[in-house]
Chain A
Amino acid sequence: MKKQLLIASVALAFVLAACGTPDNGSGFEQEKINVYTRDTSSGTRDGFMKGIGFGEASSDDSVLVSGFITNNNAAIMTAMTTDIAGIGYVSLSSVNNTIKPLKFEGVDATEANVLNNTYGLKRPFVWMRRVDGDFASDVERDLTLAFIGFMESNDGADVINDAGATAVNGTGNWADLVSSYPVCALDNSSVTLNFGGSDSITKVAEALSAAFSPRCGNVVTVNNHTGSSDGYKRSQGDEKDGINGMHIGYSSRPFTDAEKVGPETTRGQLAWDAIVAIVHKSNPVDNVTGDQLTRIYKGELATWGDVIND
């Protein structure tokens, strides 16, 4: 019995000793910044890290400040409602009044500022289709055009917004537009449309495919997302006629000049993916710059005082 008591008390002492040293200051400026991040497979993390100019952190945990917390979107939101010293980031679509969104480089994170191009912490979701003479059949071409029509309709915009991005188009209701695409009145269940490109756009793209199919003769859709550079390569570039060739390729960055070879009508933007740095509501900080965020995530700005006095 004595021995067990000894073991238990040693364990207890161990636990108490490991509790860590409390910090001495009382004011907010002394608060250590608790850094929250998504895990390395997250597209939001990729967009955020590249957006603030800390691209190497998009897939590398070891360059981040020690003691950072990895969690999903919902958990980061919840944490910011309790942790007064925390900072995290979420998609603009997740922002609500339980947390405080920070301005980025002085600009409020609102849908309007995203669409008028003043809010900077964002990246474009763009698409590129095969050029006109390049389809295996007229039906495939008509279906591709119908898909683009759907993507740019109000219904498509709803799908995009529901999937977490900010749609840039909204040309009318699909119910009114569908008559311009007679191919959708046919049974298309034997035709397959192939999509691919950027993997951070997967969720939006798959939601669009799933919503489009029943609205256009049950056309079969296949989404195979491998990376932004394949968006061009497999729709208009040198892989377009290989086994990975596709009808529409997505990219989560603007197309480069080298990629803009086809006619302008064969590409466009469907959405913005805006990301917002968020903190606790009681946090006095209102605005951050990309450089500050980079230094916070690196650990160079360790307390909130460092940020306020920066």
Chain B
Amino acid sequence: MGSKSLSRVDRITYFLLTIVGLISASFIVFISIFIALKGVLPFLTDNLGLGSVSLFKFLTQTVWLNGPTFVSTAYGAGFLIVNTLYIAFLSLLISFPIGVLTALFIAKIAPKKIAGILRTIIELLSAIPSIVYGLVGVGFFLPIIYSLARSLGYSSSGGSGTLATVFVLALMSIPTITSISEVSIRSVDQSIEHASLALGATFTQTRFKITLLAAKSGIFSGAILAIGRSLGEATAVSLVAGNARSGPTFGLFDITSTITSTMLTGLKETQGIDYDIRFSLGIVLMVVILLTNMILNYIKKKVGNVHA
């Protein structure tokens, strides 16, 4: 150490890493600016003589478009925001317990060999592209949900709707929650578990009341990532949601739509105002995800860090 040539290498490395860091950071800035610039156009310009879109109505209306496409500018996305949050919440309700309990099993209970196999499976699951989850939704969930609804005396639209979307998103986010929770459960200090056992707690009591509680900060991070994935998923959702054009939808068997699925539907064939307005939805989506993350991180700070 201390030789001049090494410090030059250090400086070059430092310089290169700074450049790489700046480049990747500037992508985020570039994307944000690009989406924002395109997305505000429908509100500011008169859209080639059609009149501008009202921002207040856009954020509060319950019908996607009143009037003919390419002619009307009465767009509304209020119900999409509600649908998107509702669906993400419901899917977390399913994926969170399953994901965390699986993580607990892999980290603490399963024999080493089985744990290894399960860990590989979870890693494989998280690498499966979303379109494949969507196809599973169409081919597997939709018929089941359709018959389920029918047996309850309800005529669903081929199974498409809130429940199908929630299942697909839950399936997609379980691997995320599991792999992150598993790491944080494994890194829980064994001495506090031993202390619990020594005080006479059973293994089950220790795992649920001590281990999980100690790992909750990491588990929460997994949930935040899972929510992010649910909010931003487009392809799989648009395959099973039914793409309702008005809302909001709360019924489990009723068709629904999210911000992303609305952005995607018809994107490849449309033009003009109907195309630009999808960038405005992009801004809404980014704001929704940003706010959700900020709130969840705030909660995480409040509830986490109980145990050292």
Asked whether A20 lies within 8 Å of B254 as measured between CB atoms, the reply is yes
A62 to chain B: closest residue by CB? B66
- Residue from A14, A67, A78 in contact with B255 in the complex, judged by beta carbons closer than 8 Å: A67
CB proximity of A50 to chain B, nearest CB, Å: 13
Asked whether B266 lies within 8 Å of A82 as measured between CB atoms, the reply is no
Q: Which of B41-83 contact A (CB under 8 A)?
A: 63-72
B268 to chain A: closest residue by CB? A41
Asked whether B266 lies within 8 Å of A60 as measured between CB atoms, the reply is no
Q: Which of A112-139 contact B (CB under 8 A)?
A: none
CB proximity of B63 to chain A, nearest CB, Å: 7
C-alpha spacing A14/B90, complex, angstroms: 12
Would you call the interface of chain B mostly helix, strand, loop, or mixed?
Answer: loop
Stretch at the interface among A69-77, A251-259, A291-299: A69-77
Given contact pairs A69-B242, A75-B138, A34 touches B67 in the complex (Cβ within 8 A): no
Asked if A282 is at the interface of the complex by the 8 Å CB criterion, the answer is no
Give a binary string over A147-161; 1 marks a CB under 8 Å from any B CB, 0 the rest: 000000000000000
Asked if A98 is at the interface of the complex by the 8 Å CB criterion, the answer is no
C-alpha spacing A75/B142, complex, angstroms: 11
Given contact pairs A39-B266, A40-B266, A61-B64, A79 touches B155 in the complex (Cβ within 8 A): no
Q: Which A residues lie within 8 Å of B269 (CB)?
A: 39, 41-42
Asked if B251 is at the interface of the complex by the 8 Å CB criterion, the answer is yes
In the complex, besides A36-B157, A62-B66, A83-B159, 14 extra interface pairs with C-beta distance below 8 angstroms are: A20-B253, A23-B153, A32-B155, A40-B68, A60-B67, A60-B72, A70-B245, A71-B242, A71-B243, A75-B138, A78-B139, A79-B160, A82-B158, A83-B146
Task: Give the A-binding residues of B (Cβ under 8 A).
Answer: 63-72, 89-90, 93, 138-139, 142-143, 146, 152-160, 239, 242-246, 250-255, 265-266, 269-271, 274
CB<8 Å pairs between A and B, sample of 24? A11-B89, A11-B93, A15-B90, A15-B250, A18-B252, A19-B252, A39-B265, A40-B65, A59-B71, A61-B64, A62-B66, A62-B67, A67-B157, A67-B244, A68-B245, A69-B158, A70-B242, A70-B265, A71-B160, A71-B242, A78-B158, A82-B158, A83-B146, A83-B156
